[in-house]
Amino acid sequence: MKNLKLTISYDGSRYYGWERQPGRDTIQGKLEAVLSRMVNAEVNVIGAGRTDAGVHARAMVANCYLETEMQPDEIRDYMNHYLPDDICVDEVRFAADRFHARYRAVGKLYTYTCYVGDTKPIFNRKYVTTLDYVPDVAAMQRAAEVLTGEHDFKSFCSNPQMKKSTVRIVDSIEIVRKKDYIYFNFHGTGFLQNMVRILVGTLLEVGQGKRTVESVRQTLDARDRQTAGYTAPPQGLSLMRVDY
C-alpha cells in the first residue's frame, strides 16, 4: 500500500461540504468514488479539514492509501478525467507512510472576501459576499487584535455539543481593502466549526458600528455562541493553504 498526498482545489458552491454524507454530493465523496473505481477497492480519503457546505478551497490537502502501480501524475490525470469540472487534483505525490493530512497539519490559511463596490461582481459572484455598506476597516482591525493569539473560541463555534477543547491559536488576522474588495485573512493552527465565518460576521458588526471592540473582548470571555455575531455566508470563504 502506498500513501499518497493530494493537493486539491474546488468550487464548493454545489456541495454539502467536504465530509461524505449518504445521498449528498460532497468533495470527499466524489474523490473516494473516483479512486475506488480506479483501484477497484474501497478507498478512504483523509482531508486536512472539513470545509462547510458552499465553502471553496484553493489548496486542500488530503491523503489516502492505495494498492496501485500507477505513478503520481497518472493518478492525478485519471482523477481529473473522471472528477466533475468544479474539482481539480492539482498534485499527487508519494508521502511517508506515517503522513496524515489532518494530524500532521500545523497551520491553515483561510481568506474571506467581501465586495463593497457600487455595481455587481458578476464574474466573482460565487466567491464573494456582497455588502450593501462599506464597513470601517480600521475598527475591524482593532477588534481583530483582540482575537489574535491563543484563546478559548467557544463563543465562535456553532457546535453546542463540542466536547473537545475549544482553545485555538489564531496567530494572524489581516484585514485589507483593495479597491472594491475587503479581504479577511485568518492563519491559525486549527479552526472550530463555522469559526471563521462567525469571526467575520462579528468583525463586520464592528465595522458597521453595531458592536464595539470591547464587546468583542467580552464575547471571547463569555464562551457563549449567543454573544457573538452572525455567521457570514459560505461563498466568501476559501481555504487557501495548509502548512506542514
Q: Which three cell numbers stand for residue 61?
A: 490537502
The whole-number average pLDDT for the span 128-138 is 98
pLDDT tens per residue across span 80-107: 999 999 999 999 999 999 999 999 999 9
Question: DSSP string of 37-100?
Answer: HHHTS---PEESS-PPTT-EEEEEEEEEEE-----HHHHHHHHHHHS-TTEEEEEEEE--TT--
Q: Is 136 part of the annotated catalytic residue set?
A: no
Element (H, E) at 141: helix 137-147
Tell me which residue of 23, 92, 26, 21 sits closest to 55, measured CA to CA. Answer: 26
Among 25, 52, 118, 221, which one carries the catalytic annotation? 52
Question: In this predicted model, what pLDDT tens digit does every residue of 1-22 receive, in sequence order?
Answer: 999 999 999 999 999 999 999 9
Residue 155: strand, helix, or coil: helix
> What amino acid occupies position 40?
N
pLDDT at 161 > cutoff 90: no
